[in-house]
Structure 1
Amino acid sequence: MFSKSAFAPLAVLLAGLLPGMALAGIQTEEIAYDHDGDEMTGYLAHPEGDGPHPAVLVIHEWWGHNDYARDRAEQLAREGYTAFALDMYGSGKLADHPSTAGEFAGEIRENRDLMLGRFQAAYDWLRAHDASADTAPSAVGYCFGGTVALEAARAGMDLNVAASFHGGLATEHPAEVGKVSAELLSFTGTADPMIPPEQVAGFQKEMQEAEVRYTVVEFSGVKHSFTNPGADAIAEEFGMPVGYDARADHDSWNHLLGVLRDRH
């Protein structure tokens, strides 16, 4: 069902086969949940022992709910969070070619009600879980998932932080004064043709006019998908302008953790 990419940790693969297994101080479980009759597959990771813990939703790239999203959920669990890697496409929908990924992502981007509904279904499931603290969760998204995180915040969902890593910043539903409760984060690379400078500038103007607390971080010379260790292989296979950057990955992750600590 899920991509078993070469860079995925073996522990992630085993967790899919052994629900509820413990991995180096964390507990993981594959979760089936529902949105309007469609089965979705999520992945829960949280610290072992007493909880509850602050909750974070992890939203996958345009490829779909894969090992990379699960790995990020585990990283957050090791930092003390209850993390839920949600599913925006539906169980079993995982792309292995950019054309398919674009089709899947486009279906969601072009139907905002569907986008927000699927996000809400995962949000509600996570908030009801015993391992989640009774406070507003945060949302962390990558590429397509970053767009979803920001759109959820623009829609006024009760979030602590909405963080976008190399996610699109343009919108047809700009933030409004008094509607956005989340602190917004955007991490992009200046060598990313998918998020040109005018899009970054437009996002900053939007946030300033809506009086939203936000931070924009741009990494010089860094390409799209800079947080994904598999990006270089994708670039080689499909000729895409993407690439991993270890320093940008490290710095953006630590920035996120600092903001999460402040807000939770």
Structure 2
Amino acid sequence: MKRMIFLLTSLLLVSSLASAAIKTETVTYRDNGTEMKGYMAYDDSIEGERPGVLVVHEWWGHNEYPRERARMLAEEGYIAFALDMYGDGKTASHPDDAGKFAGAVRENMEVAESRFHAALRELRDHPLSEDDNIAAIGYCFGGGIVLEMARRGMDIDGVASFHGTLGTQSPAGEGDIKTRIRVYHGADDPFVKPEAVEAFKQEMNKAGVDYEFTAYPGAKHAFTNPGATELGEKFELPLAYDEQADKKSWQSMLEFFEEIFD
């Protein structure tokens, strides 16, 4: 019994030390007069520069979920910056407000692009960031944003969209997209119709993009978010967490990063 207690205590100590190495910084930055609230995470036990990853939030805004993903990326050896697309760290607690916030950004992609690049500068300017090794990931609304930034010629190493929107008012032409793309999609996501999936694939193929599209059978919208099922039940929305799809898509993303940052 004493030996078991000792082993458990040792494991908890190791876990605590590992967590203690992850440093986080709340970052206030500006874009065209609008104050933005971001969140930087990195492993302080690693010396020197490392690749950076931008994290774009769901339509709920810059809440704890993208911050947790930033910390998870830090644990993998990256420096991650969870950005703010709404301004002042604004978040929504009801789908009506979330839809309004997200819609306002989607309707003005010039503003969205400017805010994205303001965050990109923050990440690149950090002393621990390798400014020539950068990727971006996004969830739901954020997945759509990183795909839109790719369509607009964002020159970074790769983007990954998790249960993101696929439609666009400005389809990419040949040579427009300069980055590699990975899309992780819930095959049972009612917010993204099969015709939208087919249109996206045709767009990518015509544009000659290096992309992979993975659909997870049975997975619904927001399948990576552990809080999705509760939110779905609360607001009667087809949201649900899928642990298997979450883990598989995260592992695939990590393997993708190993390729692009090699």
What TM-score, normalized to structure 1? 0.90
Q: Pick from 99, 102, 105: which aligns with 2:99? A: 102
Q: Tell me what 2:10 maps to.
A: none
**Aligned-partner Cα distance in 2 for 1:263–1:136:** 8
- Equivalent pair of 1:40/1:91 in contact (CA under 8 Å): yes
- Please give the per-residue CA displacement for 1:146-185, whole angstroms capped at 9, x wherever unaligned: 0010011110011111111000001111112122121111
- 1:61 partnered with 2:68: no
2:26 aligned to which of 20, 30, 34: 30
What residue identity is the alignment partner of 1:239?
A: E
Q: Which residue of 2 aligns with 1:193?
A: 190
Instruction: Kindly report which structure 2 residues correspond to 1:86-101, keeping only aligned pairs within 5 A, or say none.
Output: 86-101=83-98
Residue 145 of structure 2: aligned partner: 148
Report the Cα distance in structure 2 between the residues aligned to 1:173 and 1:92, rounded to whole angstroms: 28
**1:47 equivalent in structure 2:** 43
TM-superposed CA distance for 1:92, in Å, is 4.0
Partner of residue 252, structure 1: 249
Runs of 5+ unmatched residues, structure 1: 1-21
Distance between the aligned counterparts of 1:203 and 1:92, measured in 2? 31
Matched-pair contact (CA < 8 Å) for 1:136–1:158: no
The alignment covers a number of residue pairs equal to: 243
| Cross-structure match for 1:79 | 76
Find the aligned partners of 1:79 and 1:70 in 2 and give their Cα distance: 14
Offset at 1:260? 0.5
8 Å CA contact 2:61, 2:89 repeated in 1: no
After superposing on structure 2, the runs of 4+ consecutive aligned residues of structure 1 that deviate more than 4 Å are none
Is the radius of gyration larger for structure 1 or structure 2?
2
Contact kept, 8 Å, 1:47 with 1:78, in 2: the verdict is yes
1:94-139 Cα offsets, whole Å, 9 max, x none, are: 1000000000000000001011111010011111110101314111
Contact 2:53–2:134, Cα closer than 8 Å, also in 1: yes
Supply the distance in 1 between the matched residues of 2:78 and 2:226 (Cα, whole angstroms): 23
2:6 matched residue in structure 1: none
| Cα distance between partner residues in 1 of 2:225 and 2:183 | 16
SS of 2:53's partner is strand
* 1:162 lines up with 2:159 in the alignment: yes
SS at match of 2:113: helix
**1:89 aligned partner, one-letter code:** Y
Is residue 88–residue 118 contact of structure 1 (8 Å, CA) maintained in 2? yes
Contact 1:42/1:85 (CA < 8 Å) preserved in 2?
yes
Q: Is the 8 A contact 1:190 1:196 kept in 2?
A: no
Letter in 2 for 1:152: M
Percent identical among aligned pairs is 49
Which residue in 2 is equivalent to 1:6?
none
Q: 1:50/1:173 Cα in 2 relative to 1: closer, same or farther (>3 Å)?
A: same
